Amino acid sequence: MRGLRATGHVFHVPLDHADPSSGTIEVFAREYSSLDHSTEAVAHLPWLLFLQGGPGGRGARTTQLTGWMKAAARRFRILMLDQRGTGLSTPADAATLASLASPEAQTAYLSHFRADSIVADAELIRSSLGSPPWAVFGQSYGGFCTLTYLSFAPEGMDRALITGGLAPLTGHPDQVYRATFARVEERNREYFSWYPEDRDLLTRIMRHLDDIEEYLPSGERLTARRLQLIGSYLGGNTRVHGLHYLLEDAFTSTPSGPRLSATFLEQVAGPVSRASQPLYALLHESIYCQGAASAWSAQRVLAEYPQFREDAAEPLLTGEMVYPWYFEEDPALRPLRAVAELLAARDDWGPLYDTAVLAENTVPVAAAVYRHDIYVDRGLSLATAGAVRHLQVWETDEFHHDGIADDGEAILERLLSMTDSRNADAAITPDP
């Protein structure tokens, strides 16, 4: 492809790394390298493992080296992992889970799809490739996985780079949702200050959905609370402005009165569905759980923020929160409702981090903390940064959660330079 070579790899890994008799699944990874390097030269480049956001997101597919990948390919072979259950790895979705005998069996199976298992996969893959300790770059949930890597297999890492992904090391998911509801409200207010006409328009659309049945192209009804999921636009630097273009397409005139336009309904279909990422809905709250049940944390915490209710006078858009009614309204999730309930009730989740190991960490770590990130709270991120030895923070208000989509090349170069220095003392380096 243009300026790059791509090679697919398939690895067979245990479902349960603690029990090899549990059977195996496949994990797919794609290797990217620059044509600026000869085939012979590439074979001698160090590896950089990229762990993408999620949970439940597959590795990026690219046809040319741009952004952070352009910067990385100057120095590394990039390994883009389809984390277990995603992409070309053995899938975990309604169709494949149906082969298991019961929701309880499905729950036991999915308990092996969190960060600890992803890290164990990565170490097996590193060994299979014959790589010495490698660089690991984690974006968002990939950053959570990177902290797990630092906790349980630091010997496999040469350096760690994290963007928008410093998870809280302890505590219940409730703390996460209290922080993110506040951040999302702040971002709503900011958005409506730019586009004040959209405040009344959004309320009008939601009240219209209460009174008139409107259907997505896939055939299911669009409800007001499901429409609130378009708040995912709020997490981006430039993507946030795409929300205005989406909303301006909302209504069309018909002989029977205003209806939602086909253009609007087509555009909304993607952001309000988890058809392509069922693991996101199933496992999202569990990524914060250690020894406690989430018990539908976001739904419970929502009661403290009535401004997010769909029947509020001026309802706000939500962020990435997952609610139990997802599994009623999204056809792709309905077959998974029973297992979702069991996962929410599960209270024996194992540890994802070892705070004692992190406090003595020797791997150079550089993390970008986005001051106004609506998904990974700044305060919680800085608390985590202070608990990891040799972790340097670059705090900035220039980017939001998807910063690497805006200027990934500059962001990665900065983080690489911070770890190149091998600075022995953790430091916080905010922008001026």
Q: Closest Cα partner for 388 from 425, 351, 348?
A: 425
- Residue 150: CB atoms within 10 Å: 27
d(CA 392, CA 15) in angstroms, rounded, equals: 34
Q: How many residues does the chain have?
A: 432
- Estimate to the nearest angstrom the gap between the alpha carbon of 386 and the chain centroid: 23
Tell me phi and psi for residue 38, to 5 degrees. Answer: -70, 165
Tell me phi and psi for residue 257, to 5 degrees. Answer: 115, 180
- Residue 36: CB atoms within 10 Å: 12
Contact 379, 369 (CB under 8 A): no
Q: Which residues pair with 81 in a beta bridge?
A: 29
Distance of CA 146 to CAs 124, 139, 200, 364, Å? 15, 9, 42, 12
Q: Closest Cα partner for 408 from 232, 163, 174?
A: 163
Q: Is 249 a catalytic residue?
A: no
Q: Closest Cα partner for 268 from 210, 202, 355?
A: 202
Contact 194, 186 (CB under 8 A): no
- Active-site pick, 140, 232, 294, 297: 140
Strand 251-252 and strand 77-82: pairing? unpaired
Q: Is 102 a catalytic residue?
A: no
- Active-site pick, 211, 348, 425, 431: 348
- Active-site pick, 198, 330, 401, 402: 401
Residue 416, helix vs strand vs coil: helix
Q: Is 241 a catalytic residue?
A: no
Q: Please list the active-site residues.
A: 140, 348, 401
